[in-house]
C-alpha cells in the first residue's frame, strides 16, 4: 500500500521523512554542502506561515526592518556568552572584492548584536520606547549533520527584537510572543505543542531565560519550534544601550528576542503526513481544494468552473487540475502534495446529481449532491479536517507522553518508545548530564506551575524542585 516512492513510516521513519519531502517536492539538496533549495511546494508553505505570523506580529504593534547580513568580528565579540554559544557555528567572510578584509565578518547566526548596535544610536528617552522590530531573513550556522528543513547550514526565519523601558513590559513581551507561537502551532498547524522555560543548560546563549514551544513528532522525538528570550539588561550593558527614564535618569533598556524558522515545515510533515505523502492542515495549506474534472464534458467543465468561482470568492484557495494527465494520476498527485480536499466531477455522477469529495487526511471518499451549497459544504469539511487533525495529533502526543520516577523508568521508556517524559528534577546540571547519557535525552522545558508528581529528583533522588518534560530531540 501507500505511495510507491515512499518508504513505510513505521518501517523506517527517517527514510519515510526524506521520501515525503522529495515526493511532495518540498525541498532538495544542492551543490552547496548542508544548504537546501526550497522548492515551490515547500516555499508556498513558508509563504503562508509568513503571511499568518506577520499579520499577527503587526497586529501586536511590531514593524519589519532589514539589518545587515554581516557582523564584524569585534561587534560580535562584545557579549561574551553569545559568542561562546555561537562561535563554533559561524561562517566567516574574509575576502571581498579580490582583497583580504581587515576584519573578518560573520554571516549572522542571529542578530542581537546588530540590533543593539542600531538601538544605541536611535533611542535617548523613554518616549522612544518600546521599539518592536522583526525581520524575515536567512541565517547561517555551520552544522555538521544536516537534514532537510530540520537542520541546515542556511535556514530562513523571523527574528523579533524588542527593547522596553521596564523589566515588567519586556517580560510581558516575552510571554506574549511565546503565546503567539503556541497559538500558531495549535490553531494553524494543528500541532498540540507544550510550552515552558528552558533550563540554564539549554537556554539561549546570553539570555536571562528562554521560553520554548516544543512539538512531538509521530515517532516520539521532540522538535523545538519557536523560542522567546528575555535578556534583561545584559546586552544593553555590553552594547551601551541606555535611555533617559521617567525619573530623568540614565537606565539600560530591557530586551527580548523571539524566533521561528523553516524547520516548522519539517514539524508539519513529521506530525501529520502518512505513507501516501504530505498531509496539510487546511489553515496552512497553500492550496486547500483541488477540483478534478473526469472526462471531456461540457457540463462537467461548467460545474468545475462554477465551483472554483464560488470557492475562490469565499476566500478558499482552490484550483482546477485541467492538465492532460489521467484522473488517476491527478488523484495521486493531489494526494502526495497534501491538498486537503479533492472534488471529483464526472459526467456519470453528474447525471445522478452527485459528486465525489475525498478527504486527504483520512482518505475517505464522500458523496454529495452536485447542486449542494458548495461553499458551506467545503468550509464545514475544511474545519472538520483541521479539528480532526489536531485531535489525532493530540491523541498521539498523549499516547507518547510518559511519567518517570527514577532512572530505570527513564531508560525503559527511552529504549522502548521515546516521547515527552514528565519527571521531577532537583535543578542540578549534573542530573541533566546523567540523563543525557540515555540516548541523548534532554530537558525540553520546565512546566510553569507544573503539578508535583514526585518529591524526589528522577535522577539523584534528592529533593525535587521542578516539573520537567524530557525527551530526545531533532
Binding site for a second copy (CB under 8 A): 28, 30-32, 35-40, 43-44, 46-47, 63-72, 75, 87-98, 104-105, 107, 114, 117-118, 121-122, 133, 137-138, 140, 142-144, 153-154, 156
> Which residues make beta-bridge pairs with 341?
289, 359
In the bound state with a second copy, the residue whose beta carbon lies nearer, of 139 and 400, is 139
C-alpha span between 469 and 63 (Å, rounded): 34
C-alpha span between 229 and 159 (Å, rounded): 11
Give me the least distance between CB of 437 and a second copy, in Å please: 25
C-alpha 269: how far from its chain's center? 11
> Which residues make beta-bridge pairs with 428?
none
C-alpha span between 324 and 301 (Å, rounded): 14
In the bound state with a second copy, the residue whose beta carbon lies nearer, of 51 and 395, is 51
Give me the least distance between CB of 41 and a second copy, in Å please: 9
Q: Which residues contact 376 (CB under 8 A, 6 or more apart)?
A: none
Give me the least distance between CB of 304 and a second copy, in Å please: 20
φ and ψ of 363, to 5 deg: 60, 20
> Which residues make beta-bridge pairs with 318?
289
φ and ψ of 420, to 5 deg: -80, 120
Q: What is the DSSP letter of 274?
A: B
Q: Are 78 and 72 spatial neighbours (Cβ–Cβ below 8 Å)?
A: no
In the bound state with a second copy, the residue whose beta carbon lies nearer, of 103 and 451, is 103
Residue 31's CB: how many other CB atoms inside 10 A?
6
Q: Where are the beta strands (DSSP E) in 112-253?
A: 131-140, 154-164, 194-197, 209-216, 222-232, 242-244, 250-252
Give me the least distance between CB of 221 and a second copy, in Å please: 24
Give me the least distance between CB of 326 and a second copy, in Å please: 14
CA dihedral 43, 48, 51, 52 (to 10 degrees): -140
- Give the β-pairing of 209-216 and 194-197: antiparallel
C-alpha span between 311 and 314 (Å, rounded): 5
In the bound state with a second copy, the residue whose beta carbon lies nearer, of 127 and 439, is 127
Give me the least distance between CB of 161 and a second copy, in Å please: 12
In the bound state with a second copy, the residue whose beta carbon lies nearer, of 98 and 250, is 98
Nearest to 320 by CA among 301, 292, 342: 292
Place of cell 527614564: 245
In the bound state with a second copy, the residue whose beta carbon lies nearer, of 121 and 364, is 121
Give me the least distance between CB of 100 and a second copy, in Å please: 9
In the bound state with a second copy, the residue whose beta carbon lies nearer, of 19 and 214, is 19
In the bound state with a second copy, the residue whose beta carbon lies nearer, of 92 and 183, is 92
In the bound state with a second copy, the residue whose beta carbon lies nearer, of 64 and 416, is 64
Give me the least distance between CB of 102 and a second copy, in Å please: 10
C-alpha span between 466 and 283 (Å, rounded): 36
Give the end-to-end CA distance of the chain in Å, rounded to a whole number: 28
Give me the least distance between CB of 318 and a second copy, in Å please: 15
Amino acid at each position: 500500500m501507500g505511495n510507491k516512492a515512499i518508504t513505510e513510516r513505521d518501517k523506517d521513519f527517517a527514510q519515510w521523512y526524506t521520501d515525503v519531502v522529495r515526493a511532495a517536492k518540498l525541498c532538495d539538496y544542492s551543490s552547496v554542502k548542508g544548504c537546501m533549495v526550497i522548492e515551490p511546494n515547500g516555499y508556498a508553505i513558508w509563504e503562508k506561515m509568513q503571511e499568518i505570523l506577520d499579520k499577527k506580529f503587526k497586529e501586536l504593534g511590531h514593524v519589519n526592518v532589514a539589518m545587515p547580513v554581516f557582523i564584524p568580528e569585534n561587534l560580535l565579540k562584545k557579549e561574551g556568552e553569545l559568542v561562546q554559544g555561537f562561535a563554533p557555528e559561524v561562517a566567516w567572510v574574509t575576502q571581498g572584492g579580490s582583497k583580504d578584509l581587515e576584519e573578518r565578518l560573520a554571516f549572522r547566526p542571529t542578530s542581537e548584536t546588530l540590533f543593539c548596535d542600531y538601538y544605541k544610536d536611535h533611542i535617548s528617552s523613554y518616549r522612544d520606547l518600546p521599539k518592536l522590530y522583526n525581520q524575515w531573513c536567512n541565517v547561517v550556522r555551520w552544522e555538521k549533520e544536516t537534514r532537510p528543513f530540520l537542520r541546515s547550514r542556511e535556514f530562513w526565519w523571523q527574528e523579533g527584537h524588542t527593547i522596553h523601558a521596564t523589566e515588567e513590559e519586556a517580560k510581558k513581551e516575552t510571554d506574549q510572543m511565546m503565546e503567539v507561537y503556541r497559538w500558531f502551532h495549535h490553531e494553524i498547524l494543528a500541532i498540540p505543542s507544550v510550552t515552558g522555560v528552558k533550563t540554564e543548560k539549554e537556554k539561549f546563549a546570553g539570555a536571562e531565560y528562554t521560553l520554548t514551544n516544543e512539538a512531538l513528532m509521530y515517532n516520539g522525538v521532540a522538535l523545538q519550534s519557536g523560542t522567546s528570550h528575555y535578556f534583561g539588561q545584559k546586552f544593553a550593558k555590553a552594547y551601551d544601550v541606555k535611555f533617559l527614564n521617567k525619573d530623568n535618569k540614565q537606565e539600560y533598556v530591557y530586551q527580548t528576542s523571539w524566533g521561528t524558522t523553516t524547520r516548522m515545515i519539517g514539524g508539519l510533515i513529521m506530525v501529520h503526513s502518512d505513507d501516501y505523502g504530505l498531509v496539510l492542515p487546511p489553515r496552512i495549506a497553500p492550496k486547500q481544494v483541488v477540483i478534478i474534472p473526469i472526462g471531456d464534458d461540457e457540463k462537467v467543465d461548467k460545474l468545475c468552473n462554477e465551483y472554483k468561482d464560488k470557492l475562490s470568492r469565499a476566500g478558499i484557495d482552490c484550483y482546477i487540475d485541467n492538465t492532460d494527465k489521467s484522473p488517476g494520476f491527478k488523484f495521486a498527485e493531489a494526494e502526495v502534495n497534501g491538498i486537503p480536499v479533492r472534488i471529483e466531477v464526472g459526467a456519470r455522477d453528474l447525471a445522478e446529481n452527485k459528486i465525489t469529495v475525498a478527504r486527504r487526511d483520512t482518505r475517505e471518499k464522500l458523496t454529495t449532491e452536485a447542486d449542494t451549497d458548495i461553499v458551506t459544504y467545503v468550509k464545514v469539511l475544511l474545519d472538520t479536517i483541521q479539528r480532526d487533525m489536531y485531535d489525532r495529533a493530540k491523541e498521539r502526543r498523549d499516547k507518547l507522553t510518559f511519567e518517570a520516577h527514577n532512572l530505570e523508568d527513564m531508560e525503559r521508556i527511552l529504549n522502548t518508545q521515546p516521547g515527552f517524559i514528565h519527571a521531577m528534577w532537583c535543578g542540578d546540571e549534573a542530573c541533566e548530564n546523567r540523563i543525557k547519557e540515555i540516548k541523548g535525552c534532554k530537558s525540553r522545558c520546565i512546566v510553569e506551575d507544573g503539578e508535583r508528581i514526585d518529591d524526589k529528583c528522577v535522577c539523584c533522588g534528592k529533593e525535587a524542585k521542578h516539573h520537567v518534560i524530557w525527551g530526545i530531540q531533532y
